[in-house]
Structure 1
């Protein structure tokens, strides 16, 4: 597949496109990154160099790619951290251009806003834009549980609430939802879960919880799930298959990073886990 990925870039470490591109390439996909920010490192360090990239520059890059005939070859558009509030228009215009040239192309939106521990860490205008304009244009969205609750406009803590919020988001337009972190009071101790749903059903998978924070893990998760799901888009069982494959790869990547005691994802060192993970997890069908 040809994947056009509109996300942030960091020179040091792995978040945004710096996290998503290599795993997708390792899976055999062609990836064309377009950057929304150009930073030295992710902002979790508290200090960084670089700056956001203007929406006009993003649009200019996409327009020039269209002149090369590239947009007609795009199978999937993937967007993540947007940087500025004006990037939404550039992304939506890109998706419209791609789909006009290739009606079979799909759009994945990773609605990066924040998380339950840190709260919202983006420009306050971005969550509103995501909910009102960007997510309704997406075929697949990959929020964490905090972001899911915001998009659905409801509290999300139990499994039933999570499923209800997924349904609410799908009613906005997306045909599939991946919830990259499910936290619920009745989950098995020492585990963390992910949930995937589309028109054919919903599945939940659990893995052991590794006690550390890994910036960029959501970006890799969204990229891997997008690749696996898009290859089987519209087919029964696609969500389950993509969920299981993504979970296996992500667990091994995080395990490798935790064992190394590293702050940044060991993205290159764990590369075989994207293609041939050895630790497999079975997803449970919820409906």
Structure 2
């Protein structure tokens, strides 16, 4: 019985998209049904890859089959990442509507993959606007990085108050919880990286040591969104539930990054670090309440 449906990209080699999200969720005890939006040989950061992008019709057909077989029995959440284009996005929201018809309380966690600081946008024209106008209002949880948060909120983010204000602006569009997966502002320490979660009940920030990679591994955002969703499903979206989920997520990301650095490769060390990730506790991370 599936508890989470994850609609994301897939690679045969390496760990991005569903390959970075499904296994960690399974190790955390969640049953996951994966719907792949692409199948590539490897992630595009290598410069060369083979494979194909699946059509929106293909995605709808796969979801049709899942619904016919299971009726979405037991599904508690939908997780999405890179969508590719607006047609894929429309297929995703159609799947969400059908899931919520069966389970009105089902959560939607949207990782609005669009771009990053220093790189700008890396998706097709029109997708950022579609994400802002359609996916964001439908989501319960949204997990932008700092670049994506600034664009979605239409404001510069240079201070922690800017970040909190921008996250609140996103919440007014629909989501109950905003997780900022990377945050560097004026009071950030040079050797640390922060994450921030904002809800109607408060805002919290954690920071962990900045681990340098050259080149940096891909898939960390996919992993982060998945682990945070698992925490929210367990701890709830109200009160300090998202703050506790944030602390657990930060601890898991640090474990994964340390293992990846020790391995010396450019792929996330999900296999070697799996036991430590599954046991990660938010007790090891200091959390700062901002409001």
Helix, strand or coil: the match of 1:68? Answer: helix
Please give the residue correspondences for 1:142-221 in structure 2 after superposition, counting only pairs within 5 Å: 142-212=143-213, 213-221=216-224
Deviation at 1:269, TM superposition (A): 0.7
Deviation at 1:152, TM superposition (A): 0.7
Q: TM-score, normalised on structure 1?
A: 0.97
Aligned to 1:62: 63
Helix, strand or coil: the match of 1:250? Answer: helix
In the alignment, the residues of structure 1 paired with residue 85 and residue 19 of structure 2 have an alpha-carbon distance, to the nearest angstrom, of 18
Aligned to 1:252: 255
Deviation string for 1:201-235 (max 9, x for gaps)? 11000000001112100100000001101222233
Deviation at 1:236, TM superposition (A): 1.3
Asked whether the 8 Å contact 1:2–1:75 carries over to 2, the reply is yes
Helix, strand or coil: the match of 1:67? Answer: helix
Asked whether the 8 Å contact 1:54–1:84 carries over to 2, the reply is no
Aligned to 1:41: 42
In the alignment, the residues of structure 2 paired with residue 281 and residue 231 of structure 1 have an alpha-carbon distance, to the nearest angstrom, of 19
In the alignment, the residues of structure 2 paired with residue 12 and residue 107 of structure 1 have an alpha-carbon distance, to the nearest angstrom, of 27
Aligned to 2:245: 242
Deviation at 1:247, TM superposition (A): 0.5
Asked whether the 8 Å contact 2:177–2:237 carries over to 1, the reply is no
Question: Gaps spanning 5+ residues in structure 1: where?
Answer: none
Helix, strand or coil: the match of 1:189? Answer: coil
Q: 2:284 matched to 1:280?
A: yes
Helix, strand or coil: the match of 1:151? Answer: helix
In the alignment, the residues of structure 2 paired with residue 154 and residue 235 of structure 1 have an alpha-carbon distance, to the nearest angstrom, of 27
Please give the residue correspondences for 1:212-231 in structure 2 after superposition, counting only pairs within 5 Å: 212=213, 213-231=216-234
The alignment covers a number of residue pairs equal to 287
In the alignment, the residues of structure 1 paired with residue 52 and residue 125 of structure 2 have an alpha-carbon distance, to the nearest angstrom, of 18
In the alignment, the residues of structure 2 paired with residue 235 and residue 176 of structure 1 have an alpha-carbon distance, to the nearest angstrom, of 9
Q: Give the aligned CA root-mean-square deviation in angstroms.
A: 1.2
Helix, strand or coil: the match of 1:7? Answer: strand
Aligned to 1:271: 274
Asked whether the 8 Å contact 1:109–1:135 carries over to 2, the reply is yes
Large movers: runs of 4+ above 2 Å: 232-235
In the alignment, the residues of structure 2 paired with residue 185 and residue 253 of structure 1 have an alpha-carbon distance, to the nearest angstrom, of 27
Question: Gaps spanning 5+ residues in structure 2: where?
Answer: none
Deviation at 1:189, TM superposition (A): 2.5
Cα 1:76–1:153 change in 2 (3 A) is same
Please give the residue correspondences for 1:76-87 in structure 2 after superposition, counting only pairs within 5 Å: 76-87=77-88
Deviation at 1:83, TM superposition (A): 2.1
